[in-house]
A and B are shown apart, each in its own frame.
Chain A
């Protein structure tokens, strides 16, 4: 049960309301809209992350699910279990990503495995070995590597907020695809 009240879209600024409705009017956004002076900027940064064509949708969802699992965030897992299906991930793959180590053997390609290794290492040790970083960097290049780190950045930080505020998973609404 959420610890603070959800803001109603009609009580938001026009830009905050537009961004919230674009993203499905989800509980997460209506909660964070309580920080009215920083919410719009945070939403715009999220929009850039969700619409960038640099990372394939499937790879982005792999990173998000692994991050949600390692951060112990039921809200992110609830949302992205469904979103990941629309990115082409199968149930077995999703279950593997959200397990301790099954992702290593379920059949992900070498790039996906390297990104999963980086995500796991970063979130469990707060750092990444040079060998793992270089493997991802070599496979993806600088721009996509930084975007992977930014996805981990965003969803790990978001998980802390969602867990602290105990935001309820939306009954049926899920994060929609945002037009570029």
Chain B
């Protein structure tokens, strides 16, 4: 991440929310690798309920 991109995002979010944003990227980046490798089927009718 360039200094400019970091400064822009960090300026908007601050330390806590910026770190949480990175945690989301981290979580879904890694999860996508697992899902692609396991080649599992999309659930026919069930959806994630936040």
Chain A interface residues toward B at CB < 8 A = 3-5, 31-32, 34-38, 42, 118, 122-123, 126-128, 130, 133, 146, 149-150, 152-154, 156-158, 160-161, 163-165
Contact = CB atoms under 8 A, between A and B. Distances in A.
Given A157-B25, A160-B29, A34 B19 contact: yes
Contact of A4 (B1, B18, B27, B38): B18
Closest 3 CB pairs of A and B: A153-B30, A157-B26, A157-B30
B16 A36 contact: yes
A122 B37 contact: yes
B30 A4 contact: no
Contacts of A150: 34
Nearest to B29: A157
Given A3-B10, A4-B18, A153-B31, A127 B37 contact: yes
16 contacts: A4-B19, A34-B19, A35-B19, A35-B20, A36-B16, A37-B20, A38-B23, A118-B37, A122-B33, A149-B38, A152-B33, A153-B33, A154-B30, A157-B25, A163-B1, A164-B6
